[in-house]
Amino acid sequence: METLATVQEPSLTKATRTINGSQAVLEAFVAEGVDTIFGYPGGAIMPIYDALYDYHDQLKHILVRHEQGGIHAGQGYARASGRVGVVFGTSGPGATNLVTGLADAMIDSTPLVCITGQVFAHLLGTDAFQEIDVINITTPVTKWNYQVTDATEIPAVLAKAFYIAKTGRPGPVLIDITKNAQLQQFEYEGYKPCSHIRSYRPKPIVRKEYIAQAAELINQAERPFVLFGQGVILGKAEKEFKTFIEKAGIPAAWTVMGLSALETDHPLNVGMLGMHGNYGPNVLTNECDVLIAIGMRFDDRVTGRLDKYAKQAKVIHLDIDPSEIDKNVKATVGVWGDCKETLPLLTKLVESKVYPQWVNRFKEHLEAEVTEVIHDELNPKGEVLTMGEVIRNLNELTGGDAIIVTDVGQHQMVACRYAKFNQSKSNITSGGLGTMGFGLPAAIGAKFGAPDRQVVTIIGDGGFQMTLQELGTIMQNEVDVKILILNNQFLGMVRQWQQLFMDKRYSFVDIASPDYVTLAKAYGIAGQRVNKREDLNGALSAMLNHKGSFLLEVMVGKENNVFPMVPQGCSVSEIRLK
């Protein structure tokens, strides 16, 4: 029988000892520097949980209330910390409950290693209790997945899993381990981290001739424009990016996932791209002469109609994933590689310039947007509170230093438009998949990933009700997250579309809510409800200054809309201010 002292020997030892597959999983985690696991136990993963009992001083396990909550927490942890998130789930429904989070992590390039338990190998294919073909189910939504049926494979497979998850364009990896492999004893020779896999090249070879071509286009440009995405954050290239735009003097706009890579108030930061982005960046995309895309994938919510997108511009596309170049927008010059490596090379070749007239065009468009939209959103005259003024007041109190985790909907777009950020890894949201229910569990994970930072999650009344059971996770683990519910008593974004494009035929978007403050109290969480402007700042201050978690529900206008807006099927030039 293994003693605790034997189990906790240093992971990189060359000495051979006998352990079981479950212990090998945990040894891999310790060697990889994992400190937190989000999970939910069950029959098929029980041996791993039994082994975890002896690792409690090395690995913190957070018991979530639903596997989807667990994987969203893992995403929040990864996005706030820049490390790999780790998630446990059992077989059958435990594994299938992870699928939404895997899909979300895949499209948003979030590094995860998910371990699922599986039935005994001899029962595979027999429709055994809680057996599911998790490998085929998750193949489309993972960067790599693998089923282990022999414990001797576990060290090498997990080393490969962490390597794949965090290198190149990051993504989720799922390892399914049969119960016999978890129990099987074998001679363990230590853990060897993976640094190379044949046929897998996480960083493409940088072709300097393409960088030279890109620099030549930039140096000849009269109206250059930079679009930056999450690739800058994932590549840890915030400093290199800032140096590039400041030398080249080029205005830069961000995707939702790129938000916080450059401080919001930087003079060359001209705002948000996309369907609910700022007026100038959208309109002027179709007036620039050189468009430089860095670490972004030209998502349809950014481009609108592709046949009317930046047709006048020469396009330079920098990305670590070669499959993204020319996928949606044809590049004049495609620069493969990690932007932490390619941006300094490009910066050396670009000339120091300023474009005062061109930058002023963005300012003029912003002034028009302020007049038509922003002023009334942030400084409403009526009695009804707006989402924008809540975010404005929150900015004043946080100073732009908090991590803001948003769910999906109108509140998400308003928060992205108006929240202020001074440092990277501060905006955590579900971008590509648009997963309602993401906000609360992701905020839990973000707090574990960045325990020294204040974490505020902004959630709509619809999304909150999808994963509100994770209040139990907050209660049990005493997680200090601030929960700000913007309650408009509607599924707001769907209602907005029904109002604008379906003649106000409000079909099943009127959603009732429980008494959230009383609900929070049942979980031992302090709370307050606000519906008057004079009470807003005091309530926000009480929330931020409270020691421990706090839920603040703010009642906002039922039929307020988010503008500007690029209607679906329209060009970015056709963005509407009203």
Active-site option among 143, 179, 314, 420? 179
User: How many separate helices (H) and strands (E) can be counted in the chain?
Assistant: 25, 20
The residue with tokens 């993972």 is 142
Active-site option among 58, 130, 454, 499? 130
And the tokens for 272?
Answer: 């948000």
Active-site option among 436, 493, 543, 565? 493
Dihedral-angle region of residue 400 (phi above 0 means left; psi in -120 to 50 means alpha; beta otherwise): left
Cα(284)–Cα(288) distance, integer angstroms: 6
Active-site option among 129, 364, 423, 532? 129
Catalytic site includes residue 129: yes
Q: Coil, helix or strand for 521?
A: helix
Catalytic site includes residue 106: no
Q: Which amino acid is at 205?
A: I
Catalytic site includes residue 179: yes
Distance of CA 140 to the CA centre of its chain: 19
- Quote the strand ranges of 255-374, DSSP E: 269-272, 290-294, 314-319, 333-336
Contact 87, 71 (CB under 8 A): yes
Buried b (16+ CB within 10 A) or exposed e, 425-443: bbbbbbbbbbbbbbbbbbb
Radius of gyration for the chain, computed over Cα atoms and rounded to the nearest angstrom: 25
Active-site option among 23, 27, 38, 67? 67
Cα(517)–Cα(470) distance, integer angstroms: 15
Contacts of 332 (CB under 8 A, 6+ apart): 217, 314, 315, 316
Contacts of 569 (CB under 8 A, 6+ apart): 304, 305
Reported for 372-378, long-range contacts at CB under 8 A and 24+ positions apart, including other chains, are 372/563, 372/577, 372/578, 373/279, 373/563, 373/564, 373/577, 373/578, 377/414, 377/418, 378/418
Catalytic site includes residue 308: no
In Å, what is the CA distance from 145 to each residue of 149, 172, 324?
13, 9, 22
Catalytic site includes residue 67: yes
The closest of 337, 351, 340 to 209, measured between CA atoms, is: 337
Dihedral-angle region of residue 109 (phi above 0 means left; psi in -120 to 50 means alpha; beta otherwise): left
Cα(258)–Cα(432) distance, integer angstroms: 12
- So which residues are the catalytic ones? 67, 129-130, 179, 493
